[in-house]
Chain A
Amino acid sequence: MIFKNNIRKKFFIYFLLILLFITVSISLMIGSYTVSFVDTLSIVINKLFSLTLSNYSDTYEVIVWDIRAPRILMAVFTGIALSIAGVIYQSIFRNPIVEPYILGVSSGAAFGASLGIVYPFFSVGVKLFAFIFAMLSLIISYSLAYRRDKTPIISLVLSGIIIGSIFTALVSILKYVSDDTQLREIVFWMMGGMYYSSWNDVLVNGIAVMTIFLLMWILSWKLNILSMGDETAKSLGIHPELYKAIFITSATFITAMIVSTVGIIAWVGLMIPHMARMLVGADNRYLLPTASLLGAVYIVICDTLARMVIESEIPIGIITSIIGAPFLLWLLRSRSGKVY
């Protein structure tokens, strides 16, 4: 009886793995130029294993390997990162409508990036600035909420809101003093998109995201216990403060990494964990891989839509918000209090 149920959960994980492979393959083929399946396959195999299957034009190689492949892989890692961050925040805060930006991380990142755009002479670059300020906002939120060996959730959420609004105000100041080109750049960055992704971004983010994913998966049973509350966790032999710090820092780290590379992509961290819970339930041992794969598939599809719906590209953040916000409404109204 028990094992039959777990087989069903494993089936979903394998199914999503195949679905991700199919989605990525199709996304590589389609766009403003459609590249045939055979050509796409030949390019990928040639690049990965230096084997020539068939001849294809160099233009196709540039499109598939230099333009599409890095942004699609970046979409995969973005989906994984934002989804596991969502799962972790929701479990730790014991709140099913918490999303990864609660600690003011995104506002911190947005301020850092805007600073880098408006004052390029700092020369450390937009991404690094975004990352530094995302981590800074986490540290400030966390230390504001920390009292006598404890970090009460409500204090943490409140300090996150405070830090978030301070950084949002600072972004507004930067927008006010920036020139037209900079303003356009800030606005586009904040709407999110994969268009600037390079192979270097894929490598750096991929290593970070997959390392954190593995660590979180190994610790997933402890995440289950933490979602029962601090006292229960302690009575089951788990140090709540230590593991909360590990989980929150890891989730914020990958969120900051991703936000600093692709901008703000909202709602994914809220929507995907819920959908994954509908498939495999609340047990994080199954939920983490399911949400990761589902998130990856979702972002790849959204990014493909972003570059195909209209002639010029629309920011992916707009698409995830258009889909995500009504999803929350549906979730709250149709399930009448029954939360996944």
Chain B
Amino acid sequence: MIEIKNLSFSYGEKRVLDDITLSMSKGKLHGLLGRNGSGKSTLFKCCLKFLKISNGNILISGKDLKNISIKELSKLIAYLPQDHEQSFSWKVKEIVLMGRTPHMKGVFGLDKDDYTTIYSKLELLDILDLAEVSFNELSGGQKQLVMIARALAQETPIIFLDEPTSALDFSNQLMIWRMLKRISNTGITIVVCTHDPNHILWYCENVIAIDNGKVLGAGDTATVLNEELLYDIYKSRYSIETIGDQKIIYPGSFL
């Protein structure tokens, strides 16, 4: 689905991504792990054409990103930024409707089918009752669900999410991850950038670990995400224990 070959990117003199080669397969939930400033967001931004890549290639569904226009790309990848505070009082349904932009036809472009699509996505995420509510009045978890609904309304085969649970409470974090798992089961490829390795361990089939712009490890979570990899990422010791039938990562020392 996504193939990255020898990708490098620099901000001026500073090399942020260094010869990255990766592949992300279709219909899976991929977790992107790394410390602050490791290059995770830059990798996202290169795949979304927010940044011009200096070296290497990115192939989306077999097509070179250089030959994909922004308009075409918006039908392939939906993106949820970390920050989505709104300056104006938008209604939930209006925010979700924006996801239909890549499919717009004509001058004002949105027809009854677009409304039908957004209502079905709101229903899928169990937030149909929020359609007429002002986005700014929602809780953090609800806002994130609305943004996911917008990404679904875009009807792309791939969704990128940048730290979707970073500002949420514990139960909302798990609720969002369960939802992402459900969506990936419908055949959509999801790539999530996160700071919690437990979330990757619990929900992602694949993990990609990045540090200093290089890939430390990538592949099946059960085999790749181990204590050595965690040490390589965070430069301190972490243990993976099994409680019942559930694995959990915890720090080697709490002091």
Q: Which residue of A lies closest to B69 (CB)?
A: A237
CB of A235 within 8 A of CB of B48, answer yes
Nearest Cβ in chain A — how far from B187, in angstroms?
21
Nearest Cβ in chain B — how far from A184, in angstroms?
41
Known: A96-B88, A229-B81, A277-B88. A237 touches B71 (CB 8 A): yes
Q: Is B89's beta carbon under 8 Å from chain A? A: yes
Q: Is B10's beta carbon under 8 Å from chain A? A: no
Nearest Cβ in chain B — how far from A178, in angstroms?
42
CA distance A234 to B86 in the complex (A): 17
CA distance A231 to B50 in the complex (A): 7
| Number of A-B pairs, beta carbon distance below 8 Å | 84
CB of A235 within 8 A of CB of B79, answer yes
Interface residues of B in 33-78 (CB under 8 A from A): 45, 48-50, 70-75, 77-78
Q: Which residue of A lies closest to B103 (CB)?
A: A237
Stretch in A139-147, A154-162, A218-226 touching the partner: A218-226
CA distance A91 to B98 in the complex (A): 15
Q: Which residue of B lies closest to A149 (CB)?
A: B52
- From B74, B93, B94, B110, A236 is in contact (CB under 8 Å) with B74
CB of B70 within 8 A of CB of A225, answer no
CA distance A237 to B74 in the complex (A): 5
Name the B residues within 8 Å of A231 (CB-CB): 45, 48, 50, 79, 81
Name the B residues within 8 Å of A91 (CB-CB): 88
Known: A231-B50, A234-B49. A339 touches B87 (CB 8 A): yes
Q: Type the 1/0 row for A268-306, where 1 means its CB is closer than 8 Å to any CB of B.
A: 000000000100011101000000000000000000000
CA distance A236 to B110 in the complex (A): 14
Interface residues of B in 105-120 (CB under 8 A from A): 107-110, 115
CB of B88 within 8 A of CB of A236, answer no
Name the A residues within 8 Å of B131 (CB-CB): 1
Q: Which residue of A lies closest to B162 (CB)?
A: A231
Q: Is B219's beta carbon under 8 Å from chain A? A: no
CB of B91 within 8 A of CB of A281, answer yes
CA distance A220 to B88 in the complex (A): 15
Q: Which residue of A lies closest to B160 (CB)?
A: A235
Q: Is A227's beta carbon under 8 Å from chain B? A: yes
Known: A235-B48, A236-B98. A5 touches B132 (CB 8 A): yes
Name the A residues within 8 Å of B206 (CB-CB): none
Name the B residues within 8 Å of A165 (CB-CB): none
CB of A236 within 8 A of CB of B89, answer no
CA distance A238 to B69 in the complex (A): 10
Q: Is B101's beta carbon under 8 Å from chain A? A: yes
Known: A231-B79, A234-B70, A235-B77. A221 touches B89 (CB 8 A): no
CA distance A225 to B48 in the complex (A): 17
CB of B48 within 8 A of CB of A221, answer no
Name the B residues within 8 Å of A333 (CB-CB): none
CB of A232 within 8 A of CB of B79, answer yes
Name the A residues within 8 Å of B108 (CB-CB): 220-221, 285
Q: Is B250's beta carbon under 8 Å from chain A? A: no
Q: Is B217's beta carbon under 8 Å from chain A? A: no
Q: Which residue of B lies closest to A91 (CB)?
A: B88
CB of B88 within 8 A of CB of A227, answer yes
Q: Which residue of A lies closest to B107 (CB)?
A: A218
CA distance A228 to B136 in the complex (A): 13
B residues in contact (CB < 8 Å) with A? 45, 48-50, 70-75, 77-79, 81, 84, 86-91, 93-94, 98-99, 101-102, 104, 107-110, 115, 131-132, 136, 154
Shortest 5 CB-CB contacts between residues of A and residues of B:
A237-B74, A235-B79, A282-B88, A237-B71, A236-B101
* 21 A-B interface contacts by CB (under 8 A): A2-B93, A2-B115, A5-B132, A218-B107, A220-B108, A221-B101, A224-B94, A225-B98, A231-B81, A232-B84, A234-B48, A236-B74, A237-B71, A237-B72, A237-B74, A277-B89, A281-B89, A281-B91, A282-B90, A283-B94, A339-B87
A residues in contact (CB < 8 Å) with B? 1-2, 5, 90-91, 94-96, 218, 220-221, 224-225, 227-229, 231-232, 234-239, 277, 281-283, 285, 338-340
